[in-house]
Amino acid sequence: MILGVLGGGQLGRMLALAGYPLGMRFRFFDPADEVCVDDIAPRVRAAYEDVDALAQFADGVDVVTYEFENVPVDAVRALEARGARLLPPLVALDVSQDRLTEKQFLNGLGIATAPFAAVDSAEGLRSAVATLGLPAILKTRRMGYDGKGQAVLRSDADAEAAIAAFDGTPSILEGVVPFARELSVIAVRGLDGAVVCYPLVQNWHHDGILRVSRTPSPVVNALMQADAEYAARRVLEALDYVGVLTIEWFEHEGRLVANEIAPRVHNSGHWTIEGAATSQFENHLRAVTGLPLGLPQALGVWAMVNLVGTPPPLETLASLSGAHVHMYGKAPRTSRKVGHVTLCAVDEGYLDARLAELLHVVGIETGNTARA
Ligand SMILES: Nc1ncnc2c1ncn2[C@@H]1O[C@H](COP(=O)(O)OP(=O)(O)O)[C@@H](O)[C@H]1O
Ligand SMILES: [Mg+2]
């Protein structure tokens, strides 16, 4: 079985690492000079507009999947015209590449989101601010990730400056949700329509970048888990989806408000490599190749810390008791995710102590990720 993967970042690398024990082989497509799959799998390096390179990539591949959601839709169409099978389906990219379409889709399924308004002009931004009030967040509709393409408007002065500077990029204004915490659910749908969901994860962001995920603390009640799973199932079925899909949530006044969908394996699911019966990566591969899905249960409690920018020395990380260290083979750069560390434990007291140590080593303030 040969899988073609569009995108050669760390998510692709972890997909391949999960697939090798199953006897799967991988081929990647990525236009960048250097990508972190290069040391573990062959890669076609070409532009997404290069139809011949796409054909070469798809030749002999059993299924094509992707590890980032901003894959150009035209490249996928070119692949499909050559007879390649893409899973998850193209419609999932279409919906999630545009924040406006995505929110309309979620609301259409009865899933609550932040209030929002489409913004196409300076005047449109002025009236959106008047309707939604402040604070609000202005986001580009397309190509945003890790907080890029976003501006928080807190004051009238911020709003006036944003209106004056607005350059016509199709955008969306969202009301700020004063959330109690951020959660995410990772769900998987198999080729046969079977669905499994992982337990909700609690997430902390800094400057729009995920820094820490852990077993929610205080724990999420069973009804909220059920709500998240019910919503995920509706999304998966509406898209006739196959593979892993993530929904990011705000918990606000005891309810879940959807933030966004990622039609792929997700940073908040890295803990599943060591912390769950089956990892998100293996389950994605199982889904797109038509295998039965693996169990999503957590084996205990766990925490995952991203290494962003320049990481501590490997010797230091490796000296932490029980730490599972993952380095992506990327050169350190400001705001760049270069690796992560997962801790697993059977009890929360032990986890909290180990996490405090890890956060200290990584240089993150401990206060906000301790138990409430
Ligand atoms: N409407 C909102 N209300 C409150 N916080 C928000 C809102 N939108 C985004 N954020 C904060 O910014 C982070 C990144 O925004 P998100 O829309 O998820 O963009 P990205 O695609 O970059 O992940 C969120 O995880 C959350 O912490
Ligand atoms: Mg996000």
Instruction: Note the pLDDT tens digit of each residue in 303-346.
Output: 999 999 999 999 999 999 999 999 999 999 999 999 999 999 99
CATH code where residue 252 lies: 3.30.470.20
Ligand that comes closest to the CA of residue 203: 1
pLDDT at site 148 = 81
Same domain, 171 and 186: no
In a domain, 106, yes or no: no
- Counting the structural domains of the chain, the total is 3
Closest CA to 37 of 66, 59, 56, 16: 16
Distance (Å, whole) CA 363 – CA 346: 25
pLDDT at site 364 = 87
Q: Where are the beta strands (DSSP E) in 31-81?
A: 43-44, 63-66
pLDDT at site 149 = 84
Which residue's alpha carbon is nearest to atom 24 within ligand 1? 208
Residue with tokens 């005891």: 254
User: 88: cis peptide before it, omega within 30°?
Assistant: yes
Ligand that comes closest to the CA of residue 208: 1
Same domain, 56 and 154: no
Which residue's alpha carbon is nearest to atom 11 within ligand 1? 208
Nearby residues of 19 by Cβ (< 8 Å), 6 or more positions away? 3, 25, 26, 281, 282, 285
- What's the 97 CA to ligand 2 centre distance in angstroms? 12
Element (H, E) at 323: strand 323-327
| Ligand 1 atom at minimal distance to the Cα of residue 136 | 1
Residues of the chain with pLDDT below 50 are: 370-372
The whole domain housing 360 covers 181-369
Element (H, E) at 222: helix 222-238
**Which one-letter amino acid corresponds to residue 364?**
I
User: 115: cis peptide before it, omega within 30°?
Assistant: no
Same domain, 202 and 333: yes
Backbone phi, then psi, for 203, in 5-degree steps? -125, 140
Sort strands 25-29 and 2-6 into parallel, antiparallel or unpaired.
parallel
In a domain, 103, yes or no: no
Residue 296 near residue 201 (C-beta atoms within 8 A): no
Distance (Å, whole) CA 75 – CA 352: 45
pLDDT tens digits, one per residue of 254-276? 999 999 999 999 999 999 999 99
Same domain, 133 and 157: yes
Same domain, 330 and 252: yes
**Which one-letter amino acid corresponds to residue 230?**
Y
Residue 82 near residue 27 (C-beta atoms within 8 A): no
Distance (Å, whole) CA 161 – CA 71: 32
Q: Ligand 1: which of 259, 260, 266, 267 to mutate, most ligand atoms within 8 Å of CB?
A: 259
Could you tell me the CA-to-CA distances from 127 to 15, 116, 172 in Å, in that order? 44, 12, 12
Same domain, 142 and 265: no
CATH code where residue 154 lies: 3.30.1490.20
**How big is the chain, counted in residues?**
372
Closest CA to 103 of 83, 85, 118, 91: 118
- What's the 179 CA to ligand 1 centre distance in angstroms? 11
- What's the 58 CA to ligand 1 centre distance in angstroms? 35
Same domain, 120 and 169: yes
Q: Which of 145, 175, 205 finishes a domain? A: 175
3-state secondary structure of 357: helix
